[in-house]
Amino acid sequence: MGVDAAWARAMSASFTLTGVPITVTRAAPDDAPILTRGIWLSPTDDQQPIGRDFYRREPRKVLRIPRSDVLGRLDKGTRISAPEFEGQAIKTWQVEGYLPVQFPDEWRVILTPIA
């Protein structure tokens, strides 16, 4: 087994074991729901605003999503339906921003809840 195949297996196992089921819905015309799994990371706490963003006092939710399942594009404003924990009620979130890429085959998105 090559390194790429081993990495793909490890990523798949990670999302299967520790992830929650999510539904990603992008804006039209690519608005077909994409079913995948995501892993919640520790919330971020911005010390200073970025660009034109306003300062936020509450921690921001961060979700890891496999890039291959989202076909390489995940725009701001994309809606994600996901429970915070397995078995909890599903909430709808919106992509507000991104964390720097640590691995080329995943997204780390900052989400805000939609009321």
Mean pLDDT to the nearest integer, 88-93: 94
Strands annotated E in 26-113: 34-44, 60-66, 79-82, 91-98, 106-113
The predicted pLDDT at position 27 comes to 86
8 CB burial (10 A radius; 0-12, 13-18, 19+): middle
Q: What CATH number corresponds to the domain at position 108?
A: 2.30.110
How many domains does the chain divide into?
1
Percent of the chain with pLDDT over 70: 70
Nearest alpha-carbon partner for 40 in 76, 23, 77, 65? 65
The predicted pLDDT at position 85 comes to 87
**Residue given tokens 């085959």 in the structure block:** 105
Residue with the bigger pLDDT between 48 and 76: it is: 76
The predicted pLDDT at position 95 comes to 94
Give the structural domain span for 46.
3-113
DSSP element (H, E) containing 15: helix 3-18
Residue with the bigger pLDDT between 47 and 31: it is: 31
* pLDDT > 80? residue 75: yes
The predicted pLDDT at position 60 comes to 84
